Amino acid sequence: MKRKRQHLFIDFEFTMPERNVRMKDFFAEIIEVGIVSVVENQITDQFSSFVTPLKFPILSERCKSFLHISQQQVDTGLSFYELVRKMEEFSNNYETTIVTWGNMDMKVLRHNCLTAEVDFPFDAVELDLSMEYKRFFGDQNQTGLWKAVQEYGKEGTGRHHRALDDALTTYNIFRLIEKDKRYLEKPEPTTIGDRIDFSKLLNEFA
């Protein structure tokens, strides 16, 4: 029996160093996760949590200020190993497509798995929706997530740079793009009224 297709909309927030300060061997680590599972066009599950960094557990002032995340929040979050197990659970029962805005989320996840010596948790198709958006609208530059949703005349969900809110906003843009794609593939058939101006026709016989 063919397994159902799931789209997993994922967003991470990462650690960042202080400006103009060189930290030896620093690399970005996941400190917040937001996941939205969509099966057959329905949201079936959502998950959100802070995550404790393994290598550089003390957040920089810049990171706390930019993301509005406190040291206490990440100290009491999931361990990275628990996060990996949670993500494995999400992909167990479905054929999965992972949808992110940009390619950084999966790059950082892969690097974090490598340094933690754990297997990457997904065997899935990966879709960078920002590139899809760029191709679809013919933009020269990649657009930021919330700028993209505003260009659609909509607003983002919740607060920007909160992982679950950004994952939900990514899902909303995905739906808008898919709707536009379907419209372009199957434009509404014109009616006879669209093809003939009946007012002109009637004037000729008047």
- Quote the distance between the C-alpha of residue 21 and its chain's center: 30
Q: Give buried/exposed letters for 40-56 (b at 16+ CB in 10 A, else e).
A: eeeeeeebbbbbbbeeb
Tokens representing residue 119 in the block: 């297997």
Based on the residue annotation, tell me whether 40 is a catalytic residue of this protein.
Answer: no
Estimate to the nearest angstrom the gap between the alpha carbon of 161 and the chain centroid: 11
User: Is 160 marked active-site?
Assistant: no
Residues 6+ apart with CB under 8 A from 143: 130, 133, 134, 151
**Cα 81–chain centre separation:** 22
Q: Which of 7, 13, 29, 32 is catalytic?
A: 13
Max CA distance (Å), the chain: 87
Q: Which of 88, 126, 151, 161 is catalytic?
A: 161
Which of the residues are catalytic? 13, 161
